[in-house]
A and B are shown apart, each in its own frame.
Chain A
Amino acid sequence: MNPVNYLYLAALLFTIGATGVLIRRNAIVVFMCVELMLNACNLAFVTFSRMHGNLDGQIIAFFTMVVAAAEVVVGLAIIVSLFRSRHSASVDDASLMKL
């Protein structure tokens, strides 16, 4: 097997995640799809690290994980406070600015 297949898998997962972000309207599921995209990027980074024979790709993937953890904490806090104020987790309901 050619290790490039890992890159194809990463691209596929990223595409599925991006489609999910566009399709779903539950804010939590949208958030999970963003996580899926981040994970796909990490897989690509790790594969590139193996391709080039140095560890820089893995370092970037590690930083991505740290940033993802921070992002999840803040994002879920926003979703919880949104749910408290309007009793819905649907991203379509948050359209107060719309005429």
Chain B
Amino acid sequence: MSPQLAAYTTSTGEAVQFWMLGTVAVLGALCTVFMRRAVHSALCLAGTMIVLAIFYLANGAYFLGIVQVVVYTGAIMMLFLFVVMLVGVTAADSLKETIKGQRWLALLCGVGFGVLLLAGIGNASLTEFGGLAQANANGNVEGLAALIFTKYVFAFEITGALLITAAVGAMVLTHRERTERAKTQRELAAERVRDGRQLPPLPAPGVYARHNAVDIAGLLPDGTPSELTVSRTLRERGQIRDVSNEALNDLRALEQRSEERLERTPGEPADLTRRTEEASK
């Protein structure tokens, strides 16, 4: 094997790593696109980014590999998760198509674009692979620093200006100027009385003695669950558990079991309903 060719192929270990982690990266990317919930998408994207960090390390970009983990998966993805928690908890993606056939056209465009890209790479004459042994001889970080502070120093300065602009922009965008005086507690109370809304505190959730979780609606005197007792977020997400029929179901199961034990014929339906009605009183 000539030295040229030896530099051109990687070690078997790197090949194994590439094929295993490459699969993980592609799967993560696909999950990012096709998961319904934004939180799952964000987690899949974080996985893909960690795999890419390992690929950077394998390609001799040691500094970038660490920066990828710290900046991308550590800072950017956590920022995404913050915003998902802030915004996306109730925002389920609607599946209704606003433009007819847009999804299939988009998929077709994507596949066509991918084929074009892959064919372009396949046709390019990439015959020599230098390897970074010489460039990394004095250390990767030192090499990068030498380049950044000489050849790319202007780009580096402009990056600083960009970061400051971004920070100021984010503050301006999310800052809300208060146009009116904040209402005092007394004014809020007076307003509530005037509107005739719920005056006392809202009723507590949970069916005491059986369940006291916050996602279980409290029961009204007639046995129906009251939506008012559960927090608005859970109501909007549809995560309320209904236990109003659980007692009756338990009783019914008990009846059935006891009749099986006593080897009776399955009880007359009229008898069963009468007894359950008695129990519910």
Q: Which residues of A contact B (CB under 8 A)?
A: 1-9, 11-20, 22-26, 28-29, 31-33, 35-36, 39, 42-43, 46-47, 49-56, 58-59, 61-63, 65-74, 76-81, 83-84, 88-90, 92
**0/1 string, B19-50, CB within 8 A of A gives 1:** 10010011001101100001001100100110
Q: How close is A21's CB to chain B, nearest CB, in angstroms? A: 9
Interface with A: B155-163, B181-189, B244-252, B268-276, which one?
Answer: B155-163
Within 8 A of A (CB), among B101-152: 103, 106-107, 109-111, 113-114, 117-118, 121, 126, 128-132, 134-136, 140, 143-144, 147-148, 151-152
Task: Tell whether, in the assembled complex, residue B41 and residue A29 are in contact, meaning their CB atoms are under 8 Å apart.
Answer: yes
* Distance of A38 Cα from B65 Cα, bound (Å): 15
Task: Tell whether, in the assembled complex, residue B135 and residue A53 are in contact, meaning their CB atoms are under 8 Å apart.
Answer: yes
Task: Provide a sorted-by-A list of 12 A–B residue pairs whose CB atoms are within 8 angstroms.
Answer: A3-B8, A3-B10, A8-B118, A9-B22, A28-B87, A29-B32, A42-B64, A43-B52, A65-B64, A65-B68, A67-B159, A89-B87
Q: How close is A46's CB to chain B, nearest CB, in angstroms? A: 5
> How many of chain B's residues touch chain A, expressed as a range?
35 or more
Contact status of A25 and B93, CB under 8 A, knowing A32-B45, A55-B135, A74-B166 = yes
Task: Tell whether, in the assembled complex, residue A35 and residue B76 are in contact, meaning their CB atoms are under 8 Å apart.
Answer: yes
Task: Tell whether, in the assembled complex, residue A74 and residue B170 are in contact, meaning their CB atoms are under 8 Å apart.
Answer: yes
Task: Tell whether, in the assembled complex, residue A68 and residue B30 are in contact, meaning their CB atoms are under 8 Å apart.
Answer: no
Task: Tell whether, in the assembled complex, residue A32 and residue B22 are in contact, meaning their CB atoms are under 8 Å apart.
Answer: no
Task: Tell whether, in the assembled complex, residue A54 and residue B135 are in contact, meaning their CB atoms are under 8 Å apart.
Answer: yes
Q: Which residues of B contact A (CB under 8 A)?
A: 8-10, 14-15, 18-19, 22, 25-26, 29-30, 32-33, 38, 41-42, 45, 48-49, 52, 55-56, 59-61, 63-64, 67-68, 71-72, 75-76, 79-80, 83-84, 86-88, 91, 93-94, 98, 103, 106-107, 109-111, 113-114, 117-118, 121, 126, 128-132, 134-136, 140, 143-144, 147-148, 151-152, 155, 159, 162-163, 165-167, 169-170, 173-174, 176
Q: How close is A83's CB to chain B, nearest CB, in angstroms? A: 5
B contact residues around A1 at 8 Å (CB): 9-10, 14-15, 18-19
* Distance of A65 Cα from B52 Cα, bound (Å): 13
**Interface SS, B side:** helix
Q: A77 touches which one: B18, B113, B162, B169 (CB < 8 A)?
A: B169
Q: How close is A33's CB to chain B, nearest CB, in angstroms? A: 6
Task: Tell whether, in the assembled complex, residue B29 and residue A36 are in contact, meaning their CB atoms are under 8 Å apart.
Answer: yes
B contact residues around A15 at 8 Å (CB): 110-111, 113-114, 117
Task: Tell whether, in the assembled complex, residue A74 and residue B63 are in contact, meaning their CB atoms are under 8 Å apart.
Answer: no
Q: A76 touches which one: B80, B106, B151, B155 (CB < 8 A)?
A: B80
Contact status of A19 and B174, CB under 8 A, knowing A50-B130, A74-B166 = no
Contact status of A46 and B59, CB under 8 A, knowing A23-B106, A32-B42, A56-B147 = yes
Task: Tell whether, in the assembled complex, residue B48 and residue A76 are in contact, meaning their CB atoms are under 8 Å apart.
Answer: no
Task: Tell whether, in the assembled complex, residue B10 and residue A36 are in contact, meaning their CB atoms are under 8 Å apart.
Answer: no
Contact status of A63 and B159, CB under 8 A, knowing A6-B18, A50-B59 = yes
* Distance of A36 Cα from B140 Cα, bound (Å): 25
